[in-house]
Amino acid sequence: MTKKLISLLIVLLSGSTFAAELAKVDDIVITTESFTAAMRALGSQGEMVASNPELRKRFLDHVINSQLVARKAKSESFDKDPAYQARLADVTAQLLAGEYVDRAVEKKSSDKDLRAWFDQNKDLFSTKEVRAMHILCDDEATAVKALSEVQKSPKDFESIAKKYSKDKSVDLGFFGHGRMVSEFETVAFNLPKGSIHPQPVKTNFGWHIIKVTDIKGDKPVKYETVKTEVAKKYRQKVQEDLIHDLRRQSKIAINEKNLKDIRLP
């Protein structure tokens, strides 16, 4: 269940009465604030609803209908049902987690914070692309042997690759940051055009001999031109760091057998 949907469910069932009245269903008051929050929970769709009078009216009908059904459910004590309580607890936990992450990111997301992080991670926003060739081997010894032949005859890189590489795609074409595994990318983006890395590079796929054959788009990136993207990536980093720290501080046990056996009815 998405955070937007969770937020919408909480708002629709809250029945808040502390603000300006927008509509009333018997004794149930729907406030302008709760209605606005419900639209906001829809994200980009909410913006469309807010800007269109007809859609606003239809969405208000939807909110009213939800309140009517919720009242009927309460009258039959459905809100006391254990299955419902379990789902509500899960929804509440997810909403609470989402709100906490939003606040945590907000506290660390001043313009100064974003600029500092951008300065340390400019490569993530670079338009630079490199074109690389590689020879992929299962073990280091084979990679060293292939590299020795390549160093003696750089022009024969492709024919040597056919002899040693388990990946038939020798020429990887152009790629930007984030397309390759980090070990491969770090080497490729720091090699001059036409050069071959002097050592085999180990990744999860095996051992690579890397040659950069071309470079394009290697221009400095200004913070102002990528500020929105910086904020998005920075938020993701803050969230990942928070989750990583919480998991590191906790004891987590997963029953792999039960996880494997789960099926939807």
User: Bigger pLDDT: 2 or 35?
Assistant: 35
Tell me: do 227 and 115 sit in the same domain. Answer: yes
According to the per-residue pLDDT averaged within each range, which of 17-21, 64-68, 105-109, 206-210 is highest? 206-210
Dig out the tokens for 89 from the structure: 């607890």
89 belongs to a structural domain: yes
Averaged pLDDT, 195-218:
95
Evaluate if residue 194 carries a pLDDT over 60: yes
- What is the structure's pLDDT at 37? 85
Dig out the tokens for 185 from the structure: 């990318």
Tell me: do 114 and 162 sit in the same domain. Answer: no
103 belongs to a structural domain: no
Tell me: do 78 and 149 sit in the same domain. Answer: no
H helix or E strand, kind and range, residue 253: none
CATH number at residue 164: 3.10.50.40
Tell me: do 50 and 113 sit in the same domain. Answer: no
Tell me: do 211 and 228 sit in the same domain. Answer: no
233 belongs to a structural domain: yes
- What is the structure's pLDDT at 4? 53
What is the C-alpha separation between 76 and 71, in angstroms, rounded?
9
What is the C-alpha separation between 31 and 37, in angstroms, rounded?
10
pTM exceeds 0.85: no
Cβ atoms 136, 167 nearer than 8 A:
yes
Evaluate if residue 11 carries a pLDDT over 80: no
Structural domain that includes position 54: 3-98
Tell me: do 187 and 133 sit in the same domain. Answer: yes
Averaged pLDDT, 203-225:
92
Closest by CA to 145, choosing from 155, 131, 135, 156, is 135
Tell me: do 153 and 185 sit in the same domain. Answer: yes
115 belongs to a structural domain: yes
From 195, 216, 237, give the residue that closes a domain.
216
Number of domains in the chain: 3
Evaluate if residue 80 carries a pLDDT over 80: yes
Provide DSSP, 12-68. Answer: HHH---SS-EEEEETTEEEEHHHHHHHHHTTTHHHHHHHT-HHHHHHHHHHHHHHHH
Cβ atoms 19, 33 nearer than 8 A:
yes
